[in-house]
């Protein structure tokens, strides 16, 4: 790595940092989370020291306001300022106008199912067997890479609808998923994890220890590096864990008949996260899906009509166009294409 030097902290800033770091060490969170809070707190203390500033409400406000509100750096700086303020006994309330604002979710690149399967079938062969297993399980289920190590795989055929029990790290509870990527689970022999995966496997009934989580995270981070190093640029983009989970989520949404709670359960996530990230998958189809839902309603029961309503319905029927058949729609589309071709000539 690159060696970096840090200004020697003195006086009030040094004491505030020491106390803040000690408080963070007492937090009952993962070591990676503690490392995150250590890092942002040190960055705040260094920012103050480099400018010759003391720890005060005004300087901490200036510190976090330096980052744009829609940048994650603003969220980090808000948290870091709170750590130093608490350690220094300073009252600091981050106003709503100064808090981090979640930006609109990015439009994720979508690969065709055919292209994605091609990458999963061939490009990943350049990777070690254990890495291939994790990538393909994520592609089949949509769960997080670290959660694949908790799956209890039953004997026999595993297909869409087969229950796979695991531990949902995000929600810290048991989860259930199932493969959704055609028949690839059996084709890729995912029911037989390589020894390197077995060595890292954790319980599907209870949360893993911090040591187990750290070992799994080191391995999944290494997978990302190997994908970028050994696969083509296009394949590396498609095979990232974020991309694979996105495709698995979109696959479930596009069925159009699954309850959002079931989708969240299968992906080991929450409906709130789905709404935040994938609501655009419903936007353009809202009218279509509402019509489909209402078509399942019981028809209105026949009853005696008043003369006024009978006349109104008869008038409506005269103006209502009959539903076109699929053949009519296809015929009109072909006619329209012919006309466009003539106009272009």
Using the predicted structure, report yes or no on whether residue 312 has a pLDDT greater than 90: no
Contact residues for 343 (Cβ-Cβ < 8 A; gap 6+): none
* Of 137 and 334, more confident: 137
Contact residues for 147 (Cβ-Cβ < 8 A; gap 6+): 166, 167, 168, 169, 175, 268
Q: How confident is the model at residue 263 (pLDDT cuts 50, 70, 90)?
A: confident
The predicted structure's pLDDT at residue 1: 40
State whether the Cα torsion 256-257-258-261 is positive or negative. Answer: positive
Contact residues for 22 (Cβ-Cβ < 8 A; gap 6+): none
pLDDT tens by residue, 29-50: 877 788 899 999 999 999 999 9
The predicted structure's pLDDT at residue 3: 43
* Of 9 and 37, more confident: 37
Contact status, residue 55 vs residue 13, Cβ threshold 8 Å:
yes
Using the predicted structure, report yes or no on whether residue 285 has a pLDDT greater than 60: no
- Across the range 294-317, mean pLDDT stands at 66
* Of 247 and 341, more confident: 247
pLDDT tens by residue, 166-224: 998 877 888 889 898 878 899 999 999 999 999 999 999 998 988 898 899 999 999 99
C-alpha distances out from residue 178 to 96, 160, 206, 255, Å: 41, 6, 19, 15
Q: What is the pTM of this model?
A: 0.62
The predicted structure's pLDDT at residue 338: 55
């Amino acid at each position: 790595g690159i060696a970096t030097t840090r200004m020697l902290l003195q006086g009030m800033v040094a004491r505030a940092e020491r106390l803040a770091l000690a408080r963070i060490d007492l937090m009952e969170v993962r070591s990676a989370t503690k490392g995150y809070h250590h890092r942002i707190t040190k960055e705040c203390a260094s920012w103050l020291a480099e400018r010759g500033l003391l720890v005060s409400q005004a300087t901490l406000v200036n510190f976090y306001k330096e980052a744009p509100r829609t940048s994650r750096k603003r969220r980090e700086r808000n948290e870091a300022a709170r750590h130093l303020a608490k350690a220094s006994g300073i009252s600091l309330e981050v106003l709503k106008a100064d808090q981090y604002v979640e930006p609109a979710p990015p439009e994720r690149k979508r690969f065709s199912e055919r292209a994605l399967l091609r990458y999963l079938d061939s490009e990943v062969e350049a990777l070690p067997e254990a890495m291939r297993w994790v990538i393909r399980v994520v592609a089949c289920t949509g769960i997080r890479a670290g959660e694949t190590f908790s799956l209890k795989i039953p004997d026999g055929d595993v297909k869409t609808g087969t229950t796979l029990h695991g531990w949902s790290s995000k929600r810290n509870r048991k989860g259930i998923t199932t493969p959704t990527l055609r028949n690839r689970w059996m084709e890729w022999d995912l029911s037989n994890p390589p020894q390197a995966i077995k060595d890292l496997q954790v319980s599907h009934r209870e949360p893993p220890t911090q040591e187990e989580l750290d070992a799994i995270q080191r391995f999944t981070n290494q997978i990302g590096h190997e994908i970028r190093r050994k696969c083509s640029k296009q394949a590396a983009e498609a095979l990232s864990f974020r991309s694979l989970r996105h495709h698995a989520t979109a696959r479930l949404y596009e069925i159009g008949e699954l309850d959002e709670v079931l989708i969240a359960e299968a992906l080991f996530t929450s409906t709130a996260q789905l709404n935040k990230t994938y609501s655009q998958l419903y936007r353009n189809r809202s009218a279509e899906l509402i019509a489909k839902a209402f078509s399942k309603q019981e028809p209105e029961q026949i009853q005696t009509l008043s003369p006024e309503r009978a006349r109104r319905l008869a008038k409506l029927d005269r103006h209502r166009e009959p539903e076109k058949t699929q053949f009519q729609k296809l015929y009109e589309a072909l006619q329209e294409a012919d006309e466009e071709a003539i106009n272009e000539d």
